[in-house]
């Protein structure tokens, strides 16, 4: 797994690599679910694999060290002393994040011995274990909303010889009792940065967390720093991948039926379908700063990836568009619905280019809680405001 992370440039030499090499994932995740049904099959079916069962070990090892998300909890169940076997219906309620994403963010945190660390979203305890290995377990606090997850993590981290503070409660509240922290890492995405987490940063401290809108297509990473003088400086960087949205946050998707309707209309047309050629060239998918701005300025859009064409839908109103180069320097566009998504792309591209084609934006967190994203200056500035952080509803409990 570590070799694959290095090959993908998610991991380099240093303490994070050494910690991952020393970490037996089967101790933190002695049981894990594998899905036995197709993604669109209802009800879904899973099997719970168990390290103590010799017949499960080969498949479980492949799951644990394959680098993908590891499913560890079904329907909020206790993770200790649960029976193995099949499950039907319900949903997965906790998982360990894709390791490439975890490793890259851990690298960016620049963990060092003696730092006080708040790990928000314990899950299987992988991030907490890495922090304990590098910083020392007495300076690490790990927090999860689910008490069953926290109880299991406490026991399994203890098996590895680590004794961090393991608490349960609302991650957006942080853990004031352990503050201030030199590093805060949040393993779920929110629409904005919780102010209370910023308040828990020590001078010289850094907070990393992913920001998403209702759409999962174009996320960003917020990097919040508190200077030695106590001043906050922040930036928002468009990224390819992000953590899942926080528990309870619903996001919009293109349903299988919506995608099938797009495919059918592309094939046979219809009275509501518009076809035209455009000389405007949209920014490439790698220009993530543009797509981040499009999502912020024209909400409700989702990209349908893996189909070759540029396909974007607005499930709220049923609009969609598909575009591809026609070989003559122009783009052939097919669209339907009340929204003119192609025009929205073109208008945003003009503003993004005028602002200097930013990939990283300033993030200003004002004393009144306002969070403003911007790039460029004067009439060329490209700016928007993040939603107000929600009020924390539940205090963390040990």
Q: pLDDT for 156-182, tens place per residue?
A: 999 999 999 999 999 999 999 999 999
The tens digit of pLDDT for each residue in 254-293 reads 999 999 999 999 888 776 899 999 999 999 999 999 999 9
Strands 45-50 and 274-278: unpaired
Strand 360-365 and strand 371-375: the pairing is: antiparallel
Starting at the edge strand found earlier in the chain, the sheet holding 201-211 runs: 165-168, 140-144, 117-120, 181-186, 201-211, 220-226, 232-238, 360-365, 371-375, 382-385
Model pLDDT, residue 249:
85
Sort strands 232-238 and 45-50 into parallel, antiparallel or unpaired: unpaired
Beta strands per DSSP E along the chain: 31-35, 45-50, 70-74, 85-88, 92-96, 117-120, 140-144, 165-168, 181-186, 201-211, 220-226, 232-238, 274-278, 302-303, 310-314, 319-325, 331-336, 360-365, 371-375, 382-385
Fold of the domain spanning 256-354: Double Stranded RNA Binding Domain (3.30.160)
Tokens of 146: 């689910």
Q: Model confidence at 391, in pLDDT bands (50, 70, 90)?
A: very low
Q: What is the pLDDT of residue 390?
A: 60
Q: What is the pLDDT of residues 188-244, one digit of tens each?
A: 999 999 999 999 999 999 999 999 999 999 999 999 999 999 999 999 999 999 999
Q: Are 68 and 211 in contact (CB under 8 A)?
A: no
**Residues contacting 29, CB < 8 A, separation 6+:** 64, 70, 72, 96, 124
d(C-alpha 46, C-alpha 48), whole Å: 7
**What is the pLDDT, as a whole number, of residue 388?**
81
Which has the closest alpha carbon to 245: 212, 283, 292?
212
Confidence of residue 379 (pLDDT cuts 50, 70, 90): confident
Do residues 218 and 294 make contact, with C-beta atoms less than 8 angstroms apart? yes
| DSSP code string of 237-252 | EE-S--PPBPTT----
> What pLDDT score was predicted for residue 394?
38
Residue 187 has what DSSP assignment? -
Task: Encode pLDDT of 99-152 as tens digits.
Answer: 999 999 999 999 999 999 999 999 999 999 999 999 999 999 999 999 999 999
Q: Which residue has the higher pLDDT, 58 or 81?
A: 58
* Phi, psi dihedral angles at 33 (to 5 degrees): -90, 145
Dump pLDDT digits (tens) for 292-317: 999 999 999 999 998 889 999 999 99
Q: Is 94 a catalytic residue?
A: yes
Count CB-CB contacts under 10 A for residue 271. Answer: 5
- What is the reported pLDDT for 187? 95
pLDDT in tens, 34-61: 999 998 889 999 999 999 999 999 999 9
pLDDT at 393 over 70: no
| pLDDT one-digit tens code per residue, 242-261 | 999 988 888 999 999 999 99
Task: List pLDDT tens digits, range 359-370.
Answer: 999 999 998 889
Which listed residue (69, 88, 91, 94) is catalytic? 94
Mean pLDDT, rounded, of the chain: 93
pLDDT above 70: residue 396: no
Domain map of the chain by residue range? 26-96, 256-354
CA dist list (Å): 89 to 41, 45, 46, 47? 10, 6, 9, 12
């Amino acid at each position: 797994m570590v070799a694959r992370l290095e090959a993908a440039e998610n991991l380099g030499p240093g303490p994070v690599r050494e910690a991952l090499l020393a970490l037996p994932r089967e101790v933190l995740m002695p049981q894990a679910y594998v899905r036995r049904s197709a993604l669109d099959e209802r009800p879904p079916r899973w099997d719970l694999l168990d390290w103590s069962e010799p017949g499960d070990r080969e498949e479980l090892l492949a799951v644990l060290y394959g680098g993908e998300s590891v499913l560890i909890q079904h329907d909020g169940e206790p993770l200790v002393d649960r029976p193995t076997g099949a499950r039907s219906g319900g949903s997965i309620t906790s998982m360990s994040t894709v390791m490439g994403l975890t490793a890259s963010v851990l690298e960016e945190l620049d963990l060092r011995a003696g730092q006080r660390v708040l790990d928000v979203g314990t899950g299987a305890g992988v991030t907490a274990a890495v922090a304990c290995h590098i910083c020392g377990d007495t300076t690490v606090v790990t927090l999860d909303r689910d008490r069953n997850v926290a109880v299991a993590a406490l026991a399994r981290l203890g098996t590895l010889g680590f004794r961090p503070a393991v608490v349960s409660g609302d991650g957006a509240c942080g853990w004031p009792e352990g503050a201030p922290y030199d590093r805060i890492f949040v393993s779920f995405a929110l629409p904005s940065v919780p102010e209370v987490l910023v308040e828990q940063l020590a001078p010289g401290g850094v907070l990393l967390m992913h920001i998403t809108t209702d759409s999962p297509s174009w996320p960003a990473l917020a990097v919040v720093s508190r200077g030695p003088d106590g001043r906050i400086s922040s930036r928002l960087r468009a990224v390819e991948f992000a953590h899942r949205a926080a528990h309870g946050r619903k996001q919009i998707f293109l349903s299988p039926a919506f995608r099938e309707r797009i495919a059918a209309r592309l094939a046979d047309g219809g009275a509501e379908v518009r076809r035209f050629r455009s000389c405007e060239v949209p920014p490439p998918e790698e220009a993530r700063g543009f797509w981040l701005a499009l999502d912020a300025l024209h909400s409700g859009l989702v990209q349908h990836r893996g189909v070759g064409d540029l396909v974007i839908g607005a499930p709220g109103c049923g609009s969609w568009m598909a575009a591809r180069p026609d070989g003559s320097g122009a783009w052939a566009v097919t669209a339907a619905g009340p929204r003119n998504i192609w025009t929205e792309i073109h208008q945003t591209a003009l503003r993004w280019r005028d602002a200097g084609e930013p990939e990283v934006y300033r993030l200003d967190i004002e004393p009144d809680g306002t969070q403003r994203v911007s790039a460029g200056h004067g009439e060329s500035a490209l700016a928007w405001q993040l939603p107000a952080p929600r009020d924390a509803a539940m205090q963390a409990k040990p």
